[in-house]
A and B are shown apart, each in its own frame.
Chain A
Amino acid sequence: MKRKSEAILLAGIIVALIILAPFASSNPDGLERVAESLNVEEHKPFWKGIMPDYSLENVSNPYISTLAGGLVGIFLVLALTFLIGKTVSK
């Protein structure tokens, strides 16, 4: 893909995150829905993650918090998948 279309696409992904972050559904997902209907209680996880539920603990605004989580995630995925592409094709 041309560098320019990649840059546009990446900008589009970030814009989509900015617009759609507040609309993210809080309904339980498929597996959670099944667990709920079977009355399975959620275990206390032993690993809480650095940003659990895609948000920063000390940021009170949920929108800003989700956005920050998303941006960090985008950066990490970009860096690591690029690295794996370069490494595997060496």
Chain B
Amino acid sequence: MELHIPDGCLDIPICILMYIISLSVLAFCWKKAKNEFQSKFSSTLAVLSSLVFVAQMLNFPIVGGTSGHLVGGTFLATIFGPYITALSMTIVLLIQAIFFADGGITTFGANIFNMAIIGAFSYYLVKLLSGRNPSTKRFLASVFATSWLSIVLGAFACALEIGFSQAFPAGITITIPAMLFWHVIIGIGEGAITTPLVSAIMHIQPALPAIQFSWRAPDS
């Protein structure tokens, strides 16, 4: 569950606002992915998305009596770029919400934003930190730092959403430090899982679309 906000934690206006923001970004991603995503990568996308789904199911325990699991947004984004990643992550979240009641229906827009969209667009941070023609070490260090930050940012967005909701009994002065405290730790797990995964995929198939962008950085 990690960042999956259940029903009843957010006020309806915040739910509606997050639906509007998330669906607009997804519509934009759909348009961009239409020009960019190549049909031949569909099966790879499907397999790696199901990897993300399974990794999200399996919680790892964290000191202090909490647990975390991979969110996987930075992982998919590093390999496929932000647009198709946002769509694919949304599918994973949709199946979790509808079939497994993991994350609410009214809060679905917020959950798309916190995990799918922040994760997908973290791609640009990987690219920024990597610079032009990065060494493998620098590229992977960028992936680690970015996947950590994607969790911290997701937690921050979540803290704002619940903190501004009257339905949640604590305000932002409490939710922000509390969410950040735990997710600064949980994010390390995200980096520790994402980095070897990306490294493994680079060795299996270095020609996947976004990894190639990261290496050649043609349009930056």
Q: Which residues of A contact B (CB under 8 A)?
A: 1-3, 5-6, 9-10, 13, 16-17, 20-21, 23-35, 37-40, 42-54, 66, 69-70, 72-74, 76-82, 84-86, 88-90
Tell me, rounded to whole Å, the shortest Cβ–Cβ distance linking A88 to chain B: 5
Interface string of B34-48 (1 = CB under 8 A from A): 100111011111111
Chain B residue nearest to A90 in the complex (CB): B39
Count the A-B residue pairs with Cβ separation under 8 angstroms: how many? 208
Known contacts: A2-B205, A81-B91. The answer to whether A30 contacts B2 by CB under 8 A is yes
Distance of A30 Cα from B68 Cα, bound (Å)? 7
Distance of A9 Cα from B171 Cα, bound (Å)? 44
User: Is the CB–CB distance between A86 and B39 below 8 Å?
Assistant: yes
User: Is the CB–CB distance between B45 and A24 below 8 Å?
Assistant: no
User: Is the CB–CB distance between A54 and B102 below 8 Å?
Assistant: yes
Known contacts: A1-B204, A25-B67. The answer to whether A43 contacts B6 by CB under 8 A is yes
Distance of A42 Cα from B1 Cα, bound (Å)? 14
Q: Which residues of B contact A (CB under 8 A)?
A: 1-9, 30, 33-34, 37-39, 41-54, 57-62, 64-69, 84, 87-88, 91-92, 94-102, 104-105, 155, 158, 168-170, 174-175, 178-179, 182-183, 186, 204-205, 208
Chain B residue nearest to A48 in the complex (CB): B101
Known contacts: A20-B58, A89-B38, A89-B42. The answer to whether A52 contacts B182 by CB under 8 A is no
Chain A residue nearest to B29 in the complex (CB): A88
Tell me, rounded to whole Å, the shortest Cβ–Cβ distance linking B106 to chain A: 9
User: Is the CB–CB distance between A81 and B6 below 8 Å?
Assistant: no
Please tell me which one of the listed residues B4, B30, B46, B168 contacts residue A81 in the complex, with CB atoms under 8 A apart.
B46
User: Is the CB–CB distance between A73 and B186 below 8 Å?
Assistant: no
Please tell me which one of the listed residues A27, A46, A72 contacts residue B67 in the complex, with CB atoms under 8 A apart.
A27
Tell me, rounded to whole Å, the shortest Cβ–Cβ distance linking A64 to chain B: 15
Please tell me which one of the listed residues A2, A17, A27, A76 contacts residue B62 in the complex, with CB atoms under 8 A apart.
A27
B-side contacts of A29, CB under 8 Å: 1-2, 59, 66-69, 186
Among B4, B44, B175, B186, the one with the most A-chain Cβ atoms within 10 Å of its Cβ is: B44
